[in-house]
Structure 1
Amino acid sequence: MAQEINLKSEISATQTGLRLDQALAELFPDYSRTRIKEWIVSGAVYVDGVKVDKPREKVLESQQVEIEATLPEEVHAEAQAIDLDIVYEDDHILVINKQAGLVVHPGAGNTDGTLMNALLHHCPEIELVPRAGIVHRLDKDTTGLMVVAKTVEAQTHLVAALQAREITREYEAICIGTMTAGGTVDEPIGRHATKRTHMAVIHNGRPSVTHYRVAEKFRAHTRLRLRLETGRTHQIRVHMAHIGHVLVGDPVYGGRPRPPKAASAEFTEVLRNFKRQALHAVRLELVHPVDMEIMSFQAPVPADMVELTKALRKDTEEHPMEYI
C-alpha cells in the first residue's frame, strides 16, 4: 500500500538563501533530491502554509516547511523481453506508441509484463532513473504516445515541463452521444468517495482541465480530439463521463454498448465487441531536454478504433434522416 507522509521542519540560519529543493534535501536526508523535486512541482510542499511548486524558490531563516505527500510502494521490476513500438530514441529520451493491454507500472495484480519491465530489458541503464524513466502514464487499455527519460537529468527536465504545461498531449476519442460543439471541462478530480479504483469530479480534488473539439459527428456518437492541460488519473474518461458523454467501451465509467434505434446487427456487434475505452494519445509535442529543440510526434489511430469509426460512419449513412 502507498504510504501517506507528513514532514515538518524549520529553515535554519545556515540554509538562508538556498533553493527550496536543496534545503529540503538537507532537512529530510532520508528522501532523494529527485523525489523532493517531484513533491515540490506536484504541489505537495508548503512554506509558511503557502503551497510552493518551484524548486528554485529561495528560502529564509525561520520559515516553516511542510510536506504532505504519498510515498508509493516500491515495486521491484525485472527486465522482460516485451515488444515495444519505438517511435523515436536517442541518448536522452525514448518515445513509444503504447499498445492496448500494456500496464505502465508493476503493481497489485500486475507484477510483470509491464512497460517498466520492457524498458529495463530494452535499456538496462534506465534502472538508475526513478520509475525507469517513466514521466507520465497511459491507462492499461489506452493506446498511443508516451515519452520516457533515459537519464535522471532528462527526467527532471521533462517532469518540470509537464508540470509547467509545456508538453502538448493530444488524444483521439469516441464518445457516446452527439455533441454539437467543442468546449473545455475545468473540474477538479480526486479519488471516488466509495469506489477505490475510480476517480471522480469532486469539489476538493486537484485542478483538472481538458479541452475538446468535435472531429466528426455520427448518428449517436461523436469522434473527438482532446488536449490535456493537466494529467490526472483517468482525466479524459472522468471529464467526458461528467458532461454526459462517456467514452465508448469504457469498462469503469459506463461506456457499455448503446446501439441507436434500428441499428443493424452488424453494427450492434461491433459496439459489443469493443471492450476498451476508445482513447488514443495521437500527438505529443515537447522541447528536447538537452538539445532544446521542439519535437513533435504522431501515432496513427489503432486498427480497432479505425474499424469502429468505419462502422459508425456506415450506421450514420444508413440512417441519414436521424443524423444531426
Structure 2
Amino acid sequence: MSEHIQLTGTVPASCNGKRLDQTLAELFPDYSRSRLKTWITEGCVVVDEKKVDKPRERVITGMVVEVNAEIVEEQRFAAQPMPLNIVYEDDDILVINKPHGLVVHPGAGTPDGTLLNALLHHFPAIDQVPRAGIIHRLDKDTTGLMVVAKTIPAQTHLVAAMQEREITREYEAVCNGPMTAGGHVDEPIGRHPTKRTHMAVVATGKPAVTHYRVAERFRNHTHLRLRLETGRTHQIRVHMAHLRHPLVGDHTYGGRPRPPQNASPELLEFLRGFRRQALHAARLSLHHPISGEWMSWDAPTPKDFLELLTMLRADRKAHPDE
C-alpha cells in the first residue's frame, strides 16, 4: 500500500541561491529532510518543468517546484486487538502508558503482540506513517509514557523536536548502592565490543547525557529521578551501571540483588523475585507538533515499583542506626 503525494511551491526570496534540498525543507516542513532528499534523487522533483535529481542544485526566487512521489509502507505488520492505556489522544498524536512486558516494535523473537500491532488495530490509518508513528521506544520491561505520531507531519515535527532535545522525558528508578547526591553522566554510548546485544560506554559511541537526583535513600539502595537529554538505547541502564549503581532487577547490566546486611527474609525474597529493571518513564512534556501548545503528562508509579519502595522503607525503619 502506498500514498501519492503531490506538492507545489514557489521559491521565496529567502531561498534565492540555496540548494534545492534546503529549499524543499523550507517549502514543505511537514516532511523530513532525508525524505525530501530521497525524492529528489529518485527523480520525483520538477523545477520550472524540468526534472532535477541533484539535491545540491541551486534555485532562484520565483522558480516553481513540484513534487510527485509515493510514500510506500515499509513493511506490512498485522493489526492485533490488544489493550492500550491511552493517556491522551487527538487527531495528531497518542500518548501511551506502556506496561512492563510489552515489546514496542516487532523484531527477532517477537514477530507480533507488540505495541506497533496494537496501534495498527486502534488506528488503522497509522500504517501510512513510518514505524506506525513510533517516535521513541521503551525497553520491554520499562514502564511509562511514550508519544506516538498519527500523521506524517506530526512525526516529522516530533522527530525534529527529539533531535533538538525539545522533548522532556523524566524517569524514576531504584538503583543498587547508596548515592549521596545527584549529578549527571556525559558519556558516549555504543554497542558493547564483545556482547553484541548489549550497549556500553565506549569512546566511539554517540553522545549521551543523563541527569539524576536523589529522591530517597535506603540502606543499600537509592530512589532516583532522572532526565534524559539524549535518547540512546538502554541509556539510563548503561549510565547507571557505568557509575557502579546498576538498576535493581537489571540483570543485563549487573543489577543482581544486593540486599543490605541483616535484611529480612521478606526483603531477600522480594529482591530475588523482582525480575525487571526498576525503571519508569514518569513524565513526558513537549510542544504539540501541530498546534505548538506546551503539554505535559504524568504516569502513576506502577504497583511493583511501589511495592519495592515499601519494602525498602520497611527495611530502613527496622535498622534506624544504619
TM-score normalized with structure 1 length = 0.80
Query: Aligned AA for 1:168?
Result: T
| 1:241 counterpart = 2:241 | yes
1:24 to 37, 40, 47: 37
> Which SS does the other structure have where 2:306 is aligned?
helix
> Which SS does the other structure have where 2:169 is aligned?
strand
Is the Cα–Cα contact under 8 Å of residues 92 and 290 in structure 1 kept in the other structure? yes
Aligned to 2:289: 289
Distance 1:30 1:156 in 2: 22
Is the Cα–Cα contact under 8 Å of residues 75 and 106 in structure 1 kept in the other structure? no
Q: What is the CA-CA distance between 1:254 and the residue it aligns to?
A: 1.3
Please give the residue correspondences for 1:204-243 in structure 2 after superposition, counting only pairs within 5 Å. 204-243=204-243
Distance 1:175 1:228 in 2: 17
Distance 1:288 1:316 in 2: 43
Aligned to 2:99: 99
Distance 1:262 1:175 in 2: 19
Is the Cα–Cα contact under 8 Å of residues 75 and 107 in structure 1 kept in the other structure? no
The number of aligned residues is: 271
Q: Give the 3 Å change call, closer, same or farther, for CA 30–95 of structure 1 in structure 2.
A: farther
Query: Aligned AA for 1:25?
Result: T
| 1:111 counterpart = 2:111 | yes
Q: Which moved more, 1:268-277 or 1:20-29?
A: 20-29
Distance 2:174 2:109 in 1: 28
CA-atom RMSD in angstroms: 1.9
Q: Give the 3 Å change call, closer, same or farther, for CA 292–165 of structure 1 in structure 2.
A: same
> Which SS does the other structure have where 2:253 is aligned?
coil
Q: What is the CA-CA distance between 1:290 and the residue it aligns to?
A: 1.0
- Unmatched 5+ stretches in structure 1: 1-14, 32-57, 62-73
Distance 2:18 2:214 in 1: 52
Q: Give the 3 Å change call, closer, same or farther, for CA 312–30 of structure 1 in structure 2.
A: farther
- Unmatched 5+ stretches in structure 2: 1-16, 23-32, 45-54, 59-73
TM-score normalized with structure 2 length = 0.81
Identity, in percent, stands at: 67
Distance 1:79 1:217 in 2: 44
Please give the residue correspondences for 1:64-213 in structure 2 after superposition, counting only pairs within 5 Å. 76-213=76-213
Distance 2:37 2:127 in 1: 25
1:241-295 Cα deviation digits (max 9, x unpaired) = 0001000000210111111110000011110110000000000000001111000
Q: What is the CA-CA distance between 1:28 and the residue it aligns to?
A: 3.5
Q: Give the 3 Å change call, closer, same or farther, for CA 112–309 of structure 1 in structure 2.
A: same
Is the Cα–Cα contact under 8 Å of residues 143 and 280 in structure 2 kept in the other structure? yes
1:109-137 Cα deviation digits (max 9, x unpaired) = 00000000000000000000000000000
Aligned to 2:261: 261
> Which SS does the other structure have where 1:96 is aligned?
strand
Runs of 4+, deviation exceeding 2 Å: 19-31, 58-61
Q: What is the CA-CA distance between 1:25 and the residue it aligns to?
A: 2.4
Aligned to 2:6: none
> Which SS does the other structure have where 1:241 is aligned?
helix
Distance 1:190 1:246 in 2: 18
